[in-house]
């Protein structure tokens, strides 16, 4: 049997475990006797189209390096936000498939979120047109947890753990004074409230906080917010409010757009920031009490120290399963996770058509939001708790986390 | 010999290790046969003046609880930002000393920063007036590292470790794309650059970033900043800039005040926020490239997971030394740390007059700033590295850090 070459890339925003998925692909490929060369696209499909790729066998020549990769945050191979043309007869596709042919690529793995799955889906369609035998497999990754047809997405558990732990620290910090104080924590999530909902884990037995949680799935009403706050302040001096960056009002207007304009990224997504600041100013004006807003910002998606071990292992699992699927001859698929609660928490890795996944969004379920639309029900806690279990065994050197980086190898 | 009662309080902004100092005081007191009751002021001197205190022997009846206290962030006893009147003949002093008499207090310990040392100093002066025999000892705490007469301050090492580690994660995250990007990280520090300087640890062997670091000790010049940025961008696609919240221009104007006004806290300190946003908008306008600003905000001072073990141990050390000093009959003193590098890193705990410490500020040394005023010299790295060594052995329960809280005990 002739061995095949494979190529893997990373795309979209980094997470704490996207490199663990890369580890999974590489590890499974290195261990397979059906695979010869393992290439890495540098800066995703965009870099590959510019001839940027490396031979990963040359890089990961020691076992220690692969272990370090597994625990290093951000995208080791570099990333891109590049949208392939809608028209699959476009010249770019021809070039990509010529490059595949030149490198004798048999399978292509793309680790990413919604937009990256769109790339896999388009390449699959183009492969049919070009009668290419390259197999295309998507490896899911997104802190947003908004991919459909999978119980959850690698990257989410670590971000959820970071958010819950950091919000807990902030609850402790914000609760030290006697005077009333409102602390607003703005959490990632343009359209889906999964990340913000994870803040519900923070208080637990320690605190009624966060007393108010607002997701983008619920129309945000400024008057109701102030009413909610008054009620909360009548019960506790320190009120912590967690909000998704993408909360919108009943007219579909973003709260962060109540002041000034927003920018737009390469995919036409609005680049949100600042609904926390808008709410902070509103609270100060309406209630005349101390109020501070905090954006958790990038660290929530790239913190290695608070990565979830479950997430790290599952991220590697989807990577390994992707290689197995390609070797079975599958293509145009994404690896999905099915939860099996028969004997405690367990996930099974299955594959589903990537065309039925890309460009859809999984919203936070309405039935997990409380009746007053400002909090999260226990059903979600049951869902999310298994995903944040276990700690990353970060290796510290001279007081700081030790990582691996392409430029240094 | 008659046993004395003691009382301890926490004041000012929380840190990751202020509870470790409280642990030190309690532990040393519990082990001393010269001490009877150990009281805790709830919400510092302000709460005490309102009759809020607890008997700590009743609370810490198990060894496990004290261990948990040592690793719990924020102020277990609650805190305050309360300034005693300048006039020590004011009625408030009379009330405080009457309360001391009623509780038969022999020694008073106050864990805090500059303003808290001001409280210790005033109480010492009032004690002389009222012929009180209560001994007053200050226990230093501040993430800002701006107390004079001590090599460094408990709280600083943990914040420095958090900042260095988090900036490292952000450097990795911000470096994944091919397109030029500027990431501005705003770090705490109103007047002193100690915290921002710690970001210099982040890149190390991995990255030239942070390529630019600006402290409040250097007059900030917007034109030079843009020039510095252009030079940095000519060398690296991803440029990470670390700035203190309190950077000011040559006229003494805060950069964050370039847009709008700032609020003022109870001590008349300006409540800063937003120089990162000001710079972000400037960069976008001048260079027309992707730019994002991040405020590290509260987590930098209250993260338990990234607390430094050295800092935790030293924080306990100053607490224990404070009790010993009081038992030796000292008063009006603060416990200071003297560094002894004769055989590797070591600190000695000594006491110095609190009146010579409060209301002074230790600036970041000019000789540790590079000649282009936008970076940090190796001398500082040698100074700070020992302070971030060792990791907090956070105990995780159900995926999240386990803490102890007054309301739950």
Is B114 at the interface with chain A, CB within 8 A? Answer: no
Q: What is the mean pLDDT of residues B279-288?
A: 93
Task: Return phi, psi of residue B350, to 5°.
Answer: -130, 170
Q: Which of B329, B342, B159, B326 is nearest to B244 (CA)?
A: B159
Q: Which two tokens stand for residue A307?
A: 């990565």
Cβ within 8 Å of B, A 20-79:
43, 46-47, 72-75, 78-79
Confidence of residue A408 (pLDDT cuts 50, 70, 90): very low
Q: What is the mean pLDDT of residues B19-29?
A: 98
- The answer to whether the CB atoms of B173 and A385 lie below 8 A apart is no
Q: Is the peptide bond before A283 cis (omega within 30 degrees of 0)?
A: no
- The answer to whether the CB atoms of A302 and B173 lie below 8 A apart is yes
Assess whether pLDDT exceeds 70 at residue B149.
yes
> Residues B96-132: pLDDT tens digits?
999 999 999 999 999 999 999 999 999 999 999 989 9
Task: Return phi, psi of residue A358, to 5°.
Answer: -65, 145
> Residues A299-340: pLDDT tens digits?
999 999 999 999 999 999 999 999 999 999 999 999 999 999
Sheet containing strand B238-244, edge to edge, reads B212-214, B238-244, B181-187, B290-295
Hey, how many other C-beta atoms are within 10 angstroms of the C-beta on A66? 18
- The answer to whether the CB atoms of A400 and B178 lie below 8 A apart is no
Query: What's the confidence (pLDDT) of residue A2?
Result: 84
Is A81 at the interface with chain B, CB within 8 A? Answer: yes
> Residues A227-255: pLDDT tens digits?
999 999 999 999 999 999 999 999 999 99
Cβ within 8 Å of A, B 133-172:
161, 164-166, 168-170, 172
CB A34 within 8 A of CB A66: no
Query: What's the confidence (pLDDT) of residue B279?
Result: 95
Q: What is the mean pLDDT of residues A351-358?
A: 96
Q: Please report residues of B whose CB lies closer than 8 A to that of A407.
A: 206-207
Q: Which two tokens stand for residue A90?
A: 């476009």
- The answer to whether the CB atoms of A299 and B43 lie below 8 A apart is no
- The answer to whether the CB atoms of A14 and B166 lie below 8 A apart is no
CB B79 within 8 A of CB B155: no
Confidence of residue A409 (pLDDT cuts 50, 70, 90): very low
Assess whether pLDDT exceeds 90 at residue B269.
no
Assess whether pLDDT exceeds 70 at residue A262.
no
Is A331 at the interface with chain B, CB within 8 A? Answer: no
Phi-psi region of A119 (alpha: psi -120 to 50; beta: other; left: phi over 0): alpha
Between strands B53-55 and B270-271, the pairing is: unpaired
Distance from CA of A228 to the nearest CA of B (A): 24
Q: Which of A349, A341, A348 is nearest to A385 (CA)?
A: A341
A261 is catalytic: no
Residue in B closest to A76 by C-alpha: B176
- The answer to whether the CB atoms of A169 and B46 lie below 8 A apart is no
Query: What's the confidence (pLDDT) of residue A269?
Result: 53
ipTM computed for the complex: 0.95
Q: What is residue A265's DSSP assignment?
A: -
Query: What's the confidence (pLDDT) of residue A84?
Result: 96
C-alpha span between A111 and A99 (Å, rounded)? 19
Is A177 at the interface with chain B, CB within 8 A? Answer: yes
Residue written as tokens 């049951």?
Answer: A382
Report how far Cα A231 is from the mean position of its chain's Cα atoms: 34
C-alpha span between A180 and A211 (Å, rounded)? 14
Within 13 Å and on the Cβ side, how many CA atoms surround B1?
9
C-alpha span between A8 and A77 (Å, rounded)? 9
Mutate to test the interface with A, among B40, B176, B205, B404 (most CBs of A within 10 A): B176
Between strands B238-244 and B400-401, the pairing is: unpaired
Is B305 at the interface with chain A, CB within 8 A? Answer: yes
> Residues A54-104: pLDDT tens digits?
999 999 988 889 999 999 999 999 999 999 999 999 999 999 999 999 999
Residues above pLDDT 90, as percent of chain A: 90
Sequence-separated (6 or more) residues with CB below 8 Å from residue B330: B135, B137, B351
Is A399 at the interface with chain B, CB within 8 A? Answer: yes
Between strands B135-140 and B333-339, the pairing is: parallel
- The answer to whether the CB atoms of B385 and A398 lie below 8 A apart is yes
> Residues B367-389: pLDDT tens digits?
999 999 999 999 999 999 999 99
Q: Please report residues of A whose CB lies closer than 8 A to that of B164.
A: 399-400
> Residues B393-409: pLDDT tens digits?
888 999 999 999 987 43
Is A400 at the interface with chain B, CB within 8 A? Answer: yes
Q: Please report residues of B whose CB lies closer than 8 A to that of A198.
A: none
Sequence-separated (6 or more) residues with CB below 8 Å from residue A129: A88, A89, A93
SS (H, E, C) A74-128: CCCCCCCCCCCCCCCCCHHHHHHHHHHHHCCEEEEEEEECHHHHHHHHHHHHHHH
With vertex at residue A142, the alpha carbon angle to CA A263 and CA A7, rounded to the nearest 5 degrees, is 105
Residue in A closest to B297 by C-alpha: A294
The catalytic position among A144, A146, A228, A311 is A144
Q: Which two tokens stand for residue A210?
A: 């966060």
Query: What's the confidence (pLDDT) of residue B409?
Result: 37
Q: Which of A59, A53, A27, A18 is nearest to A39 (CA)?
A: A53
Assess whether pLDDT exceeds 90 at residue A270.
no
Ranges assigned E (strand) in A195-332: 212-214, 238-244, 263-264, 270-271, 290-295
Assess whether pLDDT exceeds 50 at residue A364.
yes
Query: What's the confidence (pLDDT) of residue B394?
Result: 87
Phi-psi region of A390 (alpha: psi -120 to 50; beta: other; left: phi over 0): left
Assess whether pLDDT exceeds 80 at residue A271.
no
């Amino acid at each position: 049997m002739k061995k095949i070459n494979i190529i893997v890339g990373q795309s979209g925003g980094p997470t704490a475990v996207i490199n663990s998925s890369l580890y999974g692909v590489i590890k499974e490929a290195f261990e397979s006797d059906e695979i010869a060369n393992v290439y890495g696209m540098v800066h995703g499909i965009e870099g590959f189209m510019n001839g940027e790729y490396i031979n990963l066998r040359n890089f990961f020549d020691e076992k220690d390096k692969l272990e370090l990769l597994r625990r290093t945050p951000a995208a080791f191979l570099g990333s891109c936000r590049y949208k392939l043309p809608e028209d699959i007869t476009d010249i770019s596709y021809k070039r990509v498939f010529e490059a595949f042919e030149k490198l004798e690529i048999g399978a292509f793995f793309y680790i990413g979120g919604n937009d990256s799955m769109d790339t896999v889906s388009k390449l699959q369609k183009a492969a049919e047109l070009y009668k290419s035998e390259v197999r295309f497999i998507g490896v899911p990754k997104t802190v947003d947890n908004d991919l459909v047809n999978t119980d959850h997405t690698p990257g989410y558990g670590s971000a959820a753990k970071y958010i819950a732990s950091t919000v807990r620290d902030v609850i402790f910090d914000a609760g030290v004074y006697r005077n009333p104080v409102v602390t607003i924590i703005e959490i990632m999530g343009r359209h889906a409230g999964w990340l913000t909902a994870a803040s519900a884990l923070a208080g637990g037995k320690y605190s009624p906080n966060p007393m108010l949680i607002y997701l983008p799935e619920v129309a945000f009403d400024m008057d109701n917010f102030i009413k909610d706050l008054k009620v909360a302040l009548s019960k506790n001096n320190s009120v912590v409010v967690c909000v998704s960056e993408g909360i919108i009002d009943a007219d579909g207007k973003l709260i962060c757009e109540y002041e000034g304009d927003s920018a737009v990224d390469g995919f036409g997504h609005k680049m949100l920031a600042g609904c926390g600041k808008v709410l902070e100013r509103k609270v100060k004006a309406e209630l005349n009490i101390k109020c501070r807003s905090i954006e958790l910002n990038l660290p929530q998606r790239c913190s290695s120290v608070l990565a979830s071990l479950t997430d790290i292992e599952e991220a590697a699992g989807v990577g390994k399963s992707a290689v197995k699927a390609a070797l079975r001859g599958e293509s145009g698929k994404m690896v999905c996770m099915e939860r099996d609660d028969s004997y405690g928490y367990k996930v099974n890795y299955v594959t589903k058509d990537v065309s039925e996944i890309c460009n859809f969004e999984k919203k936070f379920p309405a039935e997990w939001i409380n009746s007053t639309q400002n909090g999260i029900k226990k059903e979600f806690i049951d869902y999310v708790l298994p995903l944040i279990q276990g700690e990353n065994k970060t290796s510290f050197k001279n007081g700081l986390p030790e990582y691996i980086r392409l430029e240094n190898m």
